[in-house]
């Protein structure tokens, strides 16, 4: 019997791929999204049946007919303009825990995408799920707050799962070009320049988008009854790379490309490429992560992609899309800049509600 799954936040980068992936694997998949990024399409997708609704307005009637809820809705970049981090992220934490509590009440599985960025500025040691966290950004603090809230409401009748993803990359109908591998591949293909925001020495674990989708699929198939929050780092040990290593892999696979560094002090650089969290060329967010737990615990899960194969696949897919410089610079593919645009043009208000 097919399981019925609800994705809340289905029109973002991950959600646009996940909805297709789950349907391909014989799940009945319904979708809800507020629509901030619905028009940012690189490739076509049939999501005309997506319900337009802000996650803050989700009620029990919206979820009670489903077997599982995947909550992807959230802010994926740091605050902008005059808004405080609390103004941006507190509502995200509150509705995540509200929806989780509704799932608990009606006996629905709840899956939450967290992030390996909660490890933040770490030593050179490899980190597992029991290692100390040290989040460096409001986004990462928010992920940790939601995890802590889920841990408090878990009991013998409710076993939520938090998936701490590595830095996701790969093709999606609504691609993000503000994540490292996607950005550097897009730059190399459209400008022949691989431009780094930093000195490139920061460590990151990287995760192909289809393996992120696979982790959700395996959790849906598993549905354990452990009685406490389950946390998984999602990725594989061999895919921890320094950013400079990623750049060199891309450089070696795109003929004629050049490697250089973005001078963030200049005002005439492409504003879409700047990372405001990097100061003086140093990225303090550096962490190496272990993924033994998910491979040993989650039935059937094993990454199908490694970074080198994944980069080659992404380059191939972007070439098939005939990626141009204009398309690469489409604002909707850069989350912070597009949210800022919606706010500055009075499309959304200070609380990130649509203005009618």
What does the pLDDT look like over 331-354, one tens digit per residue?
999 998 999 999 999 999 989 999
> Averaged over 231-243, what is the pLDDT?
97
Q: Which domains does the chain have, with CATH numbers?
A: 4-344 (3.40.50.720)
| Local confidence band at 279 (pLDDT 50, 70, 90 cut-offs) | very low
Write down the pLDDT at residue 271.
58
30 Cβ neighbours under 8 A, 6+ residues apart: 4, 5, 6, 7, 49, 51, 66
Closest CA to 71 of 142, 120, 133: 142
pLDDT at position 75: 84
How many C-beta atoms lie closer than 10 Å to residue 309's C-beta? 11
Task: Give mean pLDDT, residues 201-212.
Answer: 95
Main-chain dihedrals φ then ψ at residue 4, nearest 5 degrees:
-100, 120
pLDDT higher than threshold 80 for residue 262: no
Specify the pLDDT at position 270: 61
Confidence of residue 68 (pLDDT cuts 50, 70, 90): very high
**At which residue do the structure tokens 């504003």 appear?**
271
Q: What is the pLDDT of residues 191-206, one digit of tens each?
A: 999 988 778 888 999 9
- The pLDDT, as a whole number, for residue 281 is 47
- Asked if residue 266 has pLDDT above 80, the reply is no
150 contact partners, CB below 8 Å, separation of at least 6: 97, 100, 110, 112, 160, 162, 229
What the block records as the tokens of 337 is 């800049």
Identify the weakest region by mean pLDDT among 187-191, 233-237, 265-269, 332-336.
265-269
Per-residue pLDDT, 277: 52
Mean pLDDT, the chain, whole residue set = 91
- Asked if the model's pLDDT at residue 226 lies above 60, the reply is yes
CB 257 within 8 A of CB 188: yes
User: What's residue 198's pLDDT?
Assistant: 73
**Structure confidence at residue 263 as a pLDDT band (50, 70, 90):** low
Per-residue DSSP letter, 227: S
DSSP H or E run through 71? strand 68-71
Mean pLDDT over residues 134-145, rounded? 93
pLDDT in the model for residue 121: 80
pTM higher than the cut 0.85? yes
Residue that is written with structure tokens 């967010």 in the block? 285
Average pLDDT over residues 290-319: 98
Q: How many residues does the chain have?
A: 356
Give residue 280's pLDDT: 45
> Contact, 168 vs 13, CB < 8 A?
yes
The pLDDT assigned to 79 comes to 60
What distance in Å separates the CA atoms of residue 12 and residue 174, rounded to the nearest whole number? 6
pLDDT of residue 332: 95
pLDDT reading at 131 higher than 70: yes
pLDDT at site 267? 45
Asked if the model's pLDDT at residue 174 lies above 60, the reply is yes
Whether 26 has a pLDDT exceeding 90, the answer reads yes
Residues 6+ apart with CB under 8 A from 157: 104, 107, 227
- 105 pLDDT above the threshold of 50: yes
Q: Is the pLDDT of residue 7 over 90?
A: yes
As given in the structure block, the two tokens for residue 167 are 């830095």
Q: According to the per-residue pLDDT averaged within each range, which of 4-13, 284-293, 331-340 is highest?
A: 4-13
Greater pLDDT, 291 or 81? 291
For residue 41, is pLDDT > 70? Answer: yes
């Amino acid at each position: 019997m097919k399981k019925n799954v609800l994705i809340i936040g289905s029109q973002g980068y991950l959600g646009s791929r996940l909805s297709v992936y789950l349907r391909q694997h014989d799940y009945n998949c319904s979708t809800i999204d507020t629509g901030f990024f619905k028009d940012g399409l690189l490739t076509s997708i049939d999501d005309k049946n997506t319900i337009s609704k802000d996650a803050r307005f989700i009620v029990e009637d919206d979820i009670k007919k489903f077997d599982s809820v995947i909550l992807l809705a959230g802010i994926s970049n740091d605050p902008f303009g005059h808004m405080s981090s609390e103004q941006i992220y507190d509502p995200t934490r509150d509705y995540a825990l509200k929806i989780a509590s509704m799932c608990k009440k009606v006996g629905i599985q709840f899956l939450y995408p967290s992030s390996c960025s909660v490890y933040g500025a770490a030593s050179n040691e490899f980190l597992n799920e029991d290692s100390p966290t040290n989040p460096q950004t409001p986004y990462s603090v928010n992920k940790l707050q939601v995890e802590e809230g889920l841990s408090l409401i878990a009991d013998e009748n409710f076993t939520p799962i938090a998936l701490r993803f590595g830095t996701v990359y790969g093709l999606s109908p609504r691609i993000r070009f503000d994540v490292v591998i996607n950005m550097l591949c897009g730059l190399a293909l459209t400008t022949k320049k691989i431009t780094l925001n930093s000195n490139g020495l920061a460590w990151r674990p990287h995760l192909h988008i289809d393996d992120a989708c696979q982790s959700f699929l395996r959790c849906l198939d598993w549905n354990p009854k452990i009685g406490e929050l389950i946390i998984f780092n999602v990725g594989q040990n061999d895919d921890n790379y320094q950013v400079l290593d990623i750049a060199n892999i891309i450089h070696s696979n795109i003929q004629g490309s050049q490697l250089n560094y973005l001078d963030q002090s200049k005002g005439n650089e492409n504003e879409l490429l700047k990372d405001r969290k990097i100061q003086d060329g140093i990225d303090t967010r550096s962490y190496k992560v272990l993924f033994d737990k998910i491979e040993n615990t989650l039935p059937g899960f094993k990454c199908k992609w490694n970074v080198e194969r994944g980069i080659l696949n992404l380059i191939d897919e972007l070439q098939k899309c005939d990626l141009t410089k204009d398309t690469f610079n489409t604002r909707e593919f850069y989350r912070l800049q597009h949210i800022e645009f919606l706010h500055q043009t009075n499309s959304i208000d200070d609380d990130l509600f649509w203005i009618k």
